Structure 1
Amino acid sequence: MASVAQRVSSRFTGVLSLGVSRGNKSRSYYTYSPEPAQPLPNREPKWTTALEAMQCIKSGDTVFIQGAAATPVELVKAMTEYGKTSGLKGVTVCHMHTEGNAGYTEADCDGIFRSLSFFMAKNVRKAVAEGRSDTIPIFLQDIPKLFHQKIIKPNVALIQVSPPDQHGYCSIGTSVDCVRAALIHSKCIVAQVNPQMPRTFGDSQIHQSHFDFAVKVDVPLPEHGGEPATEVEQKIGSLIAENLVDDGATLQLGIGSIPDAVLAALHDHKDLGIHSEMFAAGTIPLFKSGAITNNKKVIHQGKTIGSFLIGTRALYDFVDNNPSIEMKEVNYVNNTHIISQNPKMTAINSCIEVDLSGQVVADSIGTRMYSGFGGQVDFIRGAAEGFDGKGKPIIALPSTTNKGESKISPFIKQGAGVVTTRAHVHYIVTEHGIASLFGASLRQRAYALINIAHPKHREALEKAAFERLKVMPSP
């Protein structure tokens, strides 16, 4: 019992330079809990400026940053400025996909900060490629374990929340994912309090008494999406919607324009459900038309389940104070056993490259890291293991790159990493058709994949397949 009390009381020790006591070290297990929704007696945050709050960061610390639409951009700016002017050294900054300028990864911050990504966004790719930042290959559902198993030990957490209600409760809003796990194990919490952050239901509640410092802002959340789909993306979306999505299916849709194109083609469907680590604004018309009801679900019936969001202002307004949507921890949402309980679980994800055996590359372009494992494998396997035997794991991609190179290749590029293995793959979809690979031999896979490649590349792929397999591809 004493060891538990010692662990959870650590949040109250350390920084006193701003005149804020972190509480009484003698607090017992019964009067203090690291559970974010549990109020801490007689404790309130210090309301201060973003720059002043950064004084809690010390050399050698590990700082966790909340991500996606909830990225606390003003706190990140202040952290970067403080690091440059205060003499900080050796600070690890860990995070999932974040938005905005990651100034702490620039060359002038080398030695001050080092980014550690669990899933990379565009803002850290250059730093990773140049060796100033790191990335961890990891399934999305496993990220909370990094904190619970003390592999990552955050000293400071920078988050963004909605303003406290009459009971002192805030919402971590659009990004629950691994945030709760990081908060439970962080010694100091700095909250960017923003009235433009939606209040969401599920696992998103945190009482303001857990904040050491709070900073008021009133700024829009980062936005993505809203652009019209290309003709190729529309074709892929239509193929999936018309051939692979059944009425009553539960959908998982990864990030990007292809999942959005699928949503745009689903208006004539009925009783669809959503169980997805993230979802986009394309779901809103389907909710309003009655195509999405979540009525056929056997768990969380009537509820849309997500873990983080990045989208348009319309999406943020839609989820704000909406009890039909629950944002939950990613180790639950992406748990394969939970996923597999959903009826007709249909997982739709995109990728960078597929070879003729069905190996899927989704996190890298050759040796250059691009993103991460994310939830692709979690949901591809969860759909395949569906309790009802009707799940559909789908990988969708345009047949060519913007430069006209085939995305279906004889071999994956040197240095590229396989995210979804050829044993996991069931359906591959391009604008030229659908390849069903489950139960297919290497010869049959090559034949099916060549038939959905761009016509101008099919002859070369057929020759390459023969050289690799010593037999002509055939059905």
Structure 2
Amino acid sequence: MLETGSRMPAERVCAVETATFDGSDPRRTALFLVEVLVIMSVIVELSQRFASGSRRLSFSQCASAFLSCSSDSSALSHSSKRHQGTAVRREPFAPLQNKTPQWMSADEAVKKLLKTGDKVFVHGAAMTPLTLVEAMTEHGKKAGLKKVEVCHIHTEGPALYTRPDCQGIFRSNSFFIGANCRETVNAGRGDFVPIFLSEIPLLFSQNIIKLDVALVQVTPPDEHGFCSLGSSVDCVRAALQNAKFVIGQVNKHVPRTFGDGIIHVSHFDALVESHRDLPEHAPKKRSAVEDKIGELIAHELVEDGATLQMGIGSIPDAVLASLLNHKDLGVHSEMFSDGIIPLVENGNITNSLKALQPGKIVGAFAVGTRKLFDFMHNNPFVVMADVTYTNRTHLIAMNPKVTAINSCIEVDLTGQVVADSIGTRMFSGVGGQVDFLRGAALSTDGRGKPILALASSTNKGESKIVPLLKPGGGVVTTRAHVHYIVTEYGIAYLFGKNLRQRAHALIQVSHPDHREALEKAAFERLKCMPSAD
């Protein structure tokens, strides 16, 4: 088992020679000998642990021994480029010897490093490098580039490369669809990859998507030459590790954050100075329905000492606003927003009872206002981590009373949940909903609560609890994953219930105007009346 507070980064792997070893290349001979020594060191390390009384070694202990022994060999195989016949990944924390990045304009950087057919990763959320994106788009049009694939989660700004005049030059490939790419995806000019947020780094580390260029936004380097990825670390670390070239937009307005989002300046192939205000998302004015849902969750389901995960939207914000009387709350979440600040200032969030990273708010990215970015800046109370850590189910489950609060679009009478589309129209993405719902359900203390919340009806008065999902609606969360469904009319607990009982529970929290029709539809579908017993 992992010790409390310990971490084993999933992305750490050994470089392996793929070509046949014949001893003719001195460099490859040295690497081969290093690997042999590493294996021998692992055997010795495991033997010592076994002899010391640890008769049963878990997988994590074995892996930890391997990684601790292999780390000494990484300097010999380390490089910022892929060598022929060798799978090598950069380590952003480790300075590269004899490499100094070149400062240049955004136009010069993209002209130098971007070419037809490239796969380009773009930093997301508030860290979207808008100056670089604009320069990339202009260069693509002027230079007549073709088939440049732009990969990203949700980004900010107009996403100029998705416009019709860029068709054939650029094609967006979204791992999570933001508002600026929604029309593009649904018009067929852009693509969407259904994928759990926790697994996006695997696309890069396993070379499923071979990145040529990564465009990121960072803080100015500190006195040691280290830059911070600011408020969005998520899958960016994996992109930096695997991209052939990295271009950095250096912005003094980026908050310097602690955690995994660190890159030494020597890893950049080009640096561009551009000090722009970061995109902000002010909390929207909440409806009475959303406030009611937030109160129900906060007062009925969130316990003192709970570890919270909150998704994006007004309902999670409404929950946070209703927690000002709770004690010793913790945060381990893929994202967070301005709503946590009053709870920190009021002493409600202490993180003191967390098993992992006690005393610290843990997240992968943040969406909010300048107030949130200032709160995060140089604040050791906040740790921004790689999404393979924040969203790993068995790690989530180690924290106490894990309470995962997420929103959805539609739920059918058996508990199937649509969260990424409205019928066939793509809306967002899979994200980390299932990662955290599963982590809460498997909480090691048995007190986790996987929660999905939605208003009972749309603005047009249509029920969001439906007999059958809309044709084309994507099931993000299966009926086997669902535990709690919350609307403004109450809480439906579905875990362990059969289809007849589920239908009954869901009808009870649907809008009163639709309950009779839902009951009739349930009878037609199930061939029996829904009931509580």
**TM-score higher than 0.5:** yes
CA distance in 1, matches of 2:373, 2:531: 49
CA distance in 2, matches of 1:444, 1:220: 52
- Once the two structures are TM-superposed, the CA of residue 73 in structure 1 deviates from its matched residue by 1.1
- Once the two structures are TM-superposed, the CA of residue 225 in structure 1 deviates from its matched residue by 2.9
Gaps of 5+ in 1: 14-24
Gaps of 5+ in 2: 1-14, 19-26, 29-75
CA distance in 2, matches of 1:2, 1:119: 32
Secondary structure of the 2:308 match is strand
- Once the two structures are TM-superposed, the CA of residue 402 in structure 1 deviates from its matched residue by 1.4
Q: Residues 127 and 445 (structure 1 numbering): CA distance in 2 closer, same or farther, change over 3 Å?
A: same
- Once the two structures are TM-superposed, the CA of residue 204 in structure 1 deviates from its matched residue by 1.0
Is 1:186 matched up with 2:243?
Answer: yes
Letter in 2 for 1:473: P
Q: Residues 390 and 58 (structure 1 numbering): CA distance in 2 closer, same or farther, change over 3 Å?
A: same
Which of 133, 142, 152 is residue 95 of structure 1 equivalent to? 152
Q: Deviations over 1:181-237 (max 9, x none)?
A: 010111110101000000000101101111111111111111113223111110000
Is 1:45 matched up with 2:83?
Answer: no
Letter in 2 for 1:340: A
CA distance in 2, matches of 1:290, 1:387: 26
- Asked if structure 2 preserves the Cα contact closer than 8 Å seen for 1:100 and 1:123, the reply is yes
Which residue pairs with 2:359 in the alignment?
302
- Once the two structures are TM-superposed, the CA of residue 43 in structure 1 deviates from its matched residue by 1.5
Moved over 6 A (4+): 4-10
- Once the two structures are TM-superposed, the CA of residue 130 in structure 1 deviates from its matched residue by 1.2
Letter in 1 for 2:524: E
CA distance in 1, matches of 2:383, 2:371: 17
- Asked if structure 2 preserves the Cα contact closer than 8 Å seen for 1:222 and 1:310, the reply is no
Structure 2 matches for 1:124-163, cutoff 5 A?
A: 124-163=181-220
- Once the two structures are TM-superposed, the CA of residue 45 in structure 1 deviates from its matched residue by 1.4
Which residue pairs with 1:319 in the alignment?
376
Letter in 2 for 1:48: M
- Asked if structure 1 preserves the Cα contact closer than 8 Å seen for 2:434 and 2:477, the reply is yes
CA distance in 1, matches of 2:455, 2:189: 32
CA distance in 1, matches of 2:435, 2:463: 27
- Once the two structures are TM-superposed, the CA of residue 3 in structure 1 deviates from its matched residue by 3.5
Letter in 1 for 2:94: Q
Letter in 2 for 1:80: T
Q: Deviations over 1:391-442 (max 9, x none)?
A: 0000000111111111110011001110000000000001111000001111
Is 1:67 matched up with 2:130?
Answer: no
- Asked if structure 2 preserves the Cα contact closer than 8 Å seen for 1:125 and 1:369, the reply is yes
Letter in 1 for 2:314: S
CA distance in 1, matches of 2:355, 2:245: 39
- Asked if structure 2 preserves the Cα contact closer than 8 Å seen for 1:343 and 1:388, the reply is yes
Q: Deviations over 1:306-328 (max 9, x none)?
A: 00111111110001100011111
Structure 2 matches for 1:373-388, cutoff 5 A?
A: 373-388=430-445
CA distance in 1, matches of 2:177, 2:257: 25
CA distance in 2, matches of 1:54, 1:10: 22
Letter in 1 for 2:92: P
Letter in 2 for 1:36: P
Which residue pairs with 2:62 in the alignment?
none
CA distance in 2, matches of 1:351, 1:193: 36
Secondary structure of the 1:70 match is coil
Secondary structure of the 2:452 match is strand
Letter in 2 for 1:49: S
Q: Deviations over 1:347-374 (max 9, x none)?
A: 0000010000000000011111111110
- Once the two structures are TM-superposed, the CA of residue 11 in structure 1 deviates from its matched residue by 4.1
CA distance in 1, matches of 2:414, 2:225: 55
Q: Residues 33 and 137 (structure 1 numbering): CA distance in 2 closer, same or farther, change over 3 Å?
A: closer
Secondary structure of the 2:406 match is strand
CA distance in 1, matches of 2:78, 2:529: 67
Number of aligned pairs? 461
- Once the two structures are TM-superposed, the CA of residue 33 in structure 1 deviates from its matched residue by 6.8
Q: Deviations over 1:153-177 (max 9, x none)?
A: 1100000000100111000111111
CA distance in 2, matches of 1:467, 1:363: 27
Q: Deviations over 1:47-104 (max 9, x none)?
A: 1111111111100000000101111111111111111111100100001111111111
CA distance in 1, matches of 2:16, 2:415: 53
Structure 2 matches for 1:339-378, cutoff 5 A?
A: 339-378=396-435
Is 1:210 matched up with 2:236?
Answer: no
CA distance in 1, matches of 2:79, 2:388: 25
Which of 441, 444, 447 is residue 390 of structure 1 equivalent to? 447
RMSD between aligned residues: 1.8
Letter in 2 for 1:304: I
Which of 495, 513, 520 is residue 456 of structure 1 equivalent to? 513
CA distance in 2, matches of 1:54, 1:11: 18
Which residue pairs with 2:91 in the alignment?
35
- Asked if structure 2 preserves the Cα contact closer than 8 Å seen for 1:33 and 1:40, the reply is no
CA distance in 2, matches of 1:355, 1:10: 51
CA distance in 1, matches of 2:361, 2:530: 43
Structure 2 matches for 1:214-229, cutoff 5 A?
A: 214-229=271-286
**Percent identical:** 62
CA distance in 1, matches of 2:279, 2:177: 16
Secondary structure of the 1:52 match is helix
- Asked if structure 2 preserves the Cα contact closer than 8 Å seen for 1:144 and 1:182, the reply is yes
